[in-house]
Structure 1
């Protein structure tokens, strides 16, 4: 643990709460305890629990190893769509790293191939209807304001966030065209998924770093930050003296 001492020039009367990265807890909270009772992920979970999965289950052939449950995969995909996370690789990443995705996935971690194949082979004929009904329910429950959401288009903002979907604004009423808008939305998801698969092939999203950073590099980065902070502090001191 890094020992922190109060630097010279700072009042010794200042106290801080103990801070230790990786600190364990005597009674660590469960993921369920960390998610608010009225969170969107709970509504998606309880809603999709009521679905008749027969049309999806009929597409499975018996035998072989056990598979991820289709209800779990459907939930993470629908929850992803509602949060503008549409890429199979980004859904898989969120299932590993995002507490809400991990909760609704039951702490399971399907990879992007599993998600991609399930969406392509099992959901093609049902995802539109499921997503339309979920959006309708969210509207009725007040989770979605359809005065500010318009389901019919996308905007790719950057490579780092290339699958961020931007819901267009300026719809005054929730009309019968919703289903067609959702179909357009999901068609765009399919197009971008195909584009992603061509770009990355059988690989996962590339990691930004290529390994651990050396202690020398960390020291150099910290030294540069410290110089910047010191310069800012000196500038503030000069400004205070100037105004006094």
Structure 2
């Protein structure tokens, strides 16, 4: 443990002896394997879990000691993990087909503009067609009754209609790609 860089691996000649790094390393690895990251929960487990009581030799370090061990010996803990992987390779415990999966979770972005199925595409097309029809009705009303709509709103409506028509065209291109997709969706 001294060679890996653990602090307090050799006991001090004065004062009360500290917890040996091997005990705290066992506790840390137990927490890692059992998904217990909190030093407070590890402290609780060291007092109640028979497996951990046996593993630590009935020693029950408090949460601050566990947290400080992690903080002070992070580099040494990484070296232990590296040495473990090297040992497993020397013993030929790893094969080329070994796959490691972690439990990371990522929030996906799959909003309505990025996910298309046949039903969603048709609903979106109908919605755009209705919006175009509504804007066209407003323009027709403005032609019949010039005072019902301010003059500065007319170019804005025409711009909106062009934008919606471009979206309809884009959805048409997506529909062609979707029909060619093996699972019928994009």
Please give the TM-score of this superposition, normalised by the length of structure 1.
0.34
Which structure has the greater CA radius of gyration? 2
The answer to which structure has the higher helix fraction is: 2
